[in-house]
Structure 1
Amino acid sequence: MDTYRALTPGEIAALEASGSTADDWSSIEVAEDFHPSQLRGARLGGRVRLASGVRIRNSGVRNYDIGAGTLVEEVVRLECRGESAFGNGTEVAVMNENGGRTVRIYSGLTAQIAYMAAVYRHRPALVAALDRMARRAADAARSAQGSIGRDCRITDCRLLRDVCIGHGATLEGVSVLSNGTVGDFSRIGIDVKAYDFVTAEHALVDNGSLIERCFIGERCIFDRGYTASDSLFFANSHCENGEAVSIFAGPYTVSHHKSSLLIAGMFSFFNAGSGTNQSNHLFKCGAVHQAVHRRGCKFASGAYVMSPAIEGVYTMIMGRHTHHHDTSVFPFSYLLEQEGRSALLPGANLSSYGTVRDIEKWRQRDKRSAGRDLINFETWNPFVGNALAAGLDALRTLYDSNPDAQSFIYNSVHIKLTGLRRGIQRYEQA
């Protein structure tokens, strides 16, 4: 722990000679080994406390504690205006834009806790207990004094307001950060604007990305002007170019391409093709509908889904789908558009090398250190096994109902006889 002291009259004179100013020099505390050469052109206001080796160059700082070895250079304004929880406790209208599944974000939030808070609305006592836990975390973070951790590099930024910054973080060329927490070793880059947010460790937000009311998990990447609001992103998600609104992005949610919109849905181990699009409201009802794209789903280029809708695990979605399908009992399938209708090829993804490639790369790309999100990388588990059994039963029941039929309808999707027979074979082999 650093010990702090007041500045001496000689140090104040030297600081003023090098262009530094303060509203009240008696409110500035420094480490025992402080030397006036550490500050040049510093504009200090309120209570400021500088640990060992802190350097401030041509920057305005108000009401901040700055950790050892940190550099603050060419920052127009770094300030804490009053009591703040630094993004902790912010309500995020995830999955439902009208707030029916709101989750409070905070440092240390995990995918599992957020899932229960958003999805288990039929368990009001559980949801209330999780909300109280989030409120306690926000209260613990609340302070009228901002803080920056050890060995940070904060350069060429415009406005950093009511932001708590963890150890080893890098902020370079940031436009605006307001009411947020930056996790340890995270990097926030050029022209980023972020409001009411929390990032976990080693997050990267860069190149003009715009973030509002979001949680960004460990090792997540936001780049190339990605825009996100009211969304939760968990470990190893990677988003560029497109837009997300009110989504629950479980681990490994990936959207790289331009013109892709993810809205009011749940994803994990997911890949969005270029031009992916969704609609979350019918005109009379408003934006109240949600979709669930289960683990391992992929959208082909130009795919469209109108919510509500749900697919089974490891489903490939191609074409436009407007009839609110439910293929949850048919894992490893292709969902296609044929003659304006949703057509299903049950189990077709079981023979795809792309599925194997995806499953192998997820574990290889896991670079987390904290590892708060519990990730099971195994392909087969009881959930998937039960889905296979349910899909096999459903296909057999359809076939037995009319063995002479050339096609069948199941929850708004069409299944041709040849696809049904092949699906039975694939599920039996699996």
Structure 2
Amino acid sequence: MSVIKRRKLSALGFDFVDPSYLKEGQDEFTAREVQFSSKHVYRSLTSAEIDALELGGNQADNWSNIQVTDQFLPAQIQQCKFYGKIRIGHMEESYVEYRNIRLATGIYQSTVVSSDIGDFVAIHHVKYLAHYLIGEEVILHNISEMETSSRAKFGNGILREGEPESARISLELCNENGGRSILPFEGMQASDAFLWTRMRDDSLLQQRFQEMTVKRFSKDRGSYSEIGARCVIKNCQLIKDVKIGTDAYIKGVNKLKNLTIQSSREAYTQIGEGCELVNGIIGYGCRIFYGVKAVRFILSSFSQLKYGARLINSFLGDNSTISCCEVLNSLIFPAHEQHHNNSFLCAATVYGQSNMAAGATVGSNHNSRAADGELVAGRGFWPGLCVSLKHNSRFASYTLIVKGDYLSELDVRIPFSLISNDVTQDRLVIIPGYWFMYNMYALVRNAAKYETRDQRKLKNQYLETAMLAPDTVNELFEALEMLEISVAETMNPALADLCEKRSFGRELLENSPQSLAGKEFFIKGFEYGNRPVQLLKVPQAYAIFKRMIRYYGALALVDRVDAINQVDSPSGSLPADASAAQQILYRAAARISFTNIGGQLIPTEKYSHLITSIKSGSIDSWEQVHAQYHQFSTHYMQDKQEHALASLCELMGVEVLTYADFDALKEELLATQEWMVAAIFQTRAKDYQNKFKEMVYGSKEEMEEVIGALADNSFILQQRAELEALRKKLAQY
């Protein structure tokens, strides 16, 4: 039943904090005064000002509780009611304008309870405004209710004094059963969420994460909601327990409750019509529009929720967009795209640069006897139209999945693959290296696109977007082993020793790939169950994988030579004599593993050391963790170069790389770049050579007018320019 309390009108605006929760020396305004920041000198109202206010139809329970500055204009306060302790900043005879709305500064037809009002604000028709700190030049227009509770947490996973554990907000990421839940906090990054959701069997580590989060906040009750300077909020219903940065624009929302909304002049956040957002943290520069529902969530900077999207118990990384669809219990790294009303993502960890097509369903409550398991997908994950996947499943980087119902759990560990369901023969079919063979345009363009779209103002983490990076190249090495074994098991089933299988398969793939023509190759452990998993185009994929690893290493070798020559030989020429040509550029080291923590790649050894430091207490705050991310980022390009050179040495089977090796690799590097640029062009040209695509236009000229001429494609032109730059660069050596 409803509990209605009735008290004296003179108490309205006071007793905000129950006295039993106040420490010695505190009162209900202690937390407010900590938050309040102003250089103004405030004073009480004069008798003349009180008379003028009453003449303007204003009421107050006690005029002595209202303080103003010397720049006070009582004529700009009309038809208002005031309760509790109120401070009003500078006023002047002016109006404020934002887009097409112009409002006189001052306070009109509003009820204000125990709040601080900034300079030159325009507050019109706010039916109830209680316990808020309002910045300067703020516009509040036609709002039903703005209030704050004494227990306000602003979306953070904390408890105020006297609250039970059940009142704490957590995000149940990666798994529906809550076994990987974390406590959200303002400033949380995808990397933080990733660290916290891993190693759940390490109770000490989990305890340290919670301790670092809790100590960021005071348990004291009485914090006020905040509206930063130059915010515009209009035509809204309920706004409760929110902290909003500067320059935000909010219009037509149904409900904003228990939120932190980060916003600034350089990266302002906008929230639009029909949205209902509860228990969340919204990053800088976000856009949320048109009927979005989000509950228990973190939306990272420069991300978007649009057109009825539902985001529940999930973390969405930077520079991502979700429209129309539903995402539950998921941890999503930066640069995720999901645009379609009938796509569904549940209980997943997606490593970013991903795309969910229409009708794709990743997890549901109906594919097992219990709550969903989990799905883990590497960078570039792309389940295509009407794909249905079952938990638990795992996918390597840049996996593309063809339309179909995949009824069994999958563990596809070969990157850049196309997965399809051969219903006729009842088998899973995989084309390793599909992207390199058939869609180089999209593969290369995506990397450039994600880098261009990274709008973060503070890039304290290096987010890897390149298709060839330590994570994907390590996967390519593992894929080479799997392809060798698959060939050996087909061509010589009698072999039992793993090393012998690899050696036999490698010999065939490298020296007599023509002997494999017409053979069928299969692989084990990629799908739960007994049906066969077939690999297509194995010799071609094997050759391309090796070529791409050599390309990755050769680019790093060019960078190494550049760095040396900038110091020793500014002209850029190579040593002329034979002995100098043998000068060692790189001495082989072991190729190391990397871990993707929220879009940032770091050597796994550094990742392990970070975890150890957190457990030991030598790192005891999230600020220190973030400083480590920044330090890792400053060293990443060097770590990546070392990895690339180590990969090249391993593939070539050499102990050192010399200038002579570099000289030999130049032509191969240039040839690979030429092949890639040609493949990029050929991939896009198919759209212009297909008569069926041309048939809806009256002429070829009309088609080019509508979709653009192939010759004018900016991305292809850019790739050709980069090829010429590489050609000129290599020619100088």
Report if aligned partners of 2:257, 2:279 keep a CA contact under 8 Å in 1: yes
How much has 1:426 moved relative to structure 2? 2.1
Report if aligned partners of 2:401, 2:418 keep a CA contact under 8 Å in 1: yes
Looking at secondary structure, tell me which structure has more helix per residue. 2
Match of 1:116 in 2: 195
Match of 1:68 in 2: 136
Q: Given the superposition, is the C-alpha separation of residues 56 and 19 from structure 1 closer, same or farther in structure 2, using an over 3 Å criterion?
A: farther
Q: Deviations over 1:85-119 (max 9, x none)?
A: 11111300011111111111111101111110112
Report if aligned partners of 1:85, 1:142 keep a CA contact under 8 Å in 2: no
Match of 1:342 in 2: 428
Aligned residues: 428
Q: Given the superposition, is the C-alpha separation of residues 77 and 299 from structure 1 closer, same or farther in structure 2, using an over 3 Å criterion?
A: same
- The answer to whether the aligner puts 1:42 opposite 2:110 as a matched pair is yes
Instruction: Name the amino acid aligned to 1:151.
Output: R
- The answer to whether the aligner puts 1:406 opposite 2:406 as a matched pair is no
Q: Trace 1:270-419 onto structure 2 (pairs within 5 A).
A: 270-280=354-364, 285-318=369-402, 319-328=404-413, 330-339=414-423, 340-351=426-437, 352=439, 353-371=441-459, 374-403=462-491, 406-413=520-527, 414-416=532-534, 418-419=536-537
How much has 1:272 moved relative to structure 2? 0.7
RMSD of equivalent CA atoms: 2.2
Q: Given the superposition, is the C-alpha separation of residues 12 and 182 from structure 1 closer, same or farther in structure 2, using an over 3 Å criterion?
A: farther
Report if aligned partners of 2:345, 2:363 keep a CA contact under 8 Å in 1: no
How much has 1:73 moved relative to structure 2? 1.1
Q: Deviations over 1:52-81 (max 9, x none)?
A: 112211102101111111111111111102
Match of 1:5 in 2: 42
Name the larger-Rg structure.
Answer: 2
Report if aligned partners of 1:234, 1:373 keep a CA contact under 8 Å in 2: no
Report if aligned partners of 1:86, 1:142 keep a CA contact under 8 Å in 2: no
Instruction: Name the amino acid aligned to 1:327.
Output: V
In 1: Cα distance, 2:192 partner to 2:369 partner: 30
Q: Given the superposition, is the C-alpha separation of residues 337 and 283 from structure 1 closer, same or farther in structure 2, using an over 3 Å criterion?
A: closer
Report if aligned partners of 2:490, 2:520 keep a CA contact under 8 Å in 1: no
- The answer to whether the aligner puts 1:261 opposite 2:344 as a matched pair is yes
Report if aligned partners of 1:113, 1:130 keep a CA contact under 8 Å in 2: no
Q: Given the superposition, is the C-alpha separation of residues 108 and 396 from structure 1 closer, same or farther in structure 2, using an over 3 Å criterion?
A: same
In 1: Cα distance, 2:248 partner to 2:179 partner: 34
SS of equivalent residue, structure 1 residue 75: strand
In 2: Cα distance, 1:252 partner to 1:108 partner: 18
Q: Deviations over 1:9-37 (max 9, x none)?
A: 44444444445545554444445534331
Q: Trace 1:100-139 onto structure 2 (pairs within 5 A).
A: 100-139=179-218
SS of equivalent residue, structure 1 residue 271: strand
Report if aligned partners of 2:363, 2:372 keep a CA contact under 8 Å in 1: no
Q: Given the superposition, is the C-alpha separation of residues 284 and 350 from structure 1 closer, same or farther in structure 2, using an over 3 Å criterion?
A: closer
Q: Trace 1:218-237 onto structure 2 (pairs within 5 A).
A: 218-237=301-320
Report if aligned partners of 2:362, 2:390 keep a CA contact under 8 Å in 1: yes
In 1: Cα distance, 2:148 partner to 2:117 partner: 15
In 2: Cα distance, 1:48 partner to 1:42 partner: 13
Q: Given the superposition, is the C-alpha separation of residues 2 and 74 from structure 1 closer, same or farther in structure 2, using an over 3 Å criterion?
A: farther
Instruction: Name the amino acid aligned to 2:410.
Output: H
In 1: Cα distance, 2:71 partner to 2:458 partner: 33
How much has 1:2 moved relative to structure 2? 3.4
In structure 2, stretches of 5+ residues that fail to align are: 1-37, 77-105, 158-168, 493-518, 549-733
SS of equivalent residue, structure 1 residue 371: coil
In 1: Cα distance, 2:380 partner to 2:156 partner: 30
Q: Given the superposition, is the C-alpha separation of residues 417 and 302 from structure 1 closer, same or farther in structure 2, using an over 3 Å criterion?
A: closer
Instruction: Name the amino acid aligned to 1:323.
Output: S
In structure 1, stretches of 5+ residues that fail to align are: none
In 2: Cα distance, 1:42 partner to 1:223 partner: 32
Instruction: Name the amino acid aligned to 1:63.
Output: H
Q: Given the superposition, is the C-alpha separation of residues 336 and 285 from structure 1 closer, same or farther in structure 2, using an over 3 Å criterion?
A: same
Report if aligned partners of 2:227, 2:245 keep a CA contact under 8 Å in 1: yes
In 2: Cα distance, 1:69 partner to 1:41 partner: 18
In 1: Cα distance, 2:175 partner to 2:341 partner: 24
How much has 1:183 moved relative to structure 2? 0.9
Q: TM-score, normalised by structure 1?
A: 0.93
Match of 1:175 in 2: 254
Match of 2:151 in 1: 83
Match of 2:723 in 1: none
My pick for the range that moved more, 123-132 or 4-13, is 4-13
Report if aligned partners of 1:80, 1:161 keep a CA contact under 8 Å in 2: yes
Query: Which one of the candidate residues 291, 300, 304 is aligned to 1:217?
Result: 300
SS of equivalent residue, structure 1 residue 161: strand
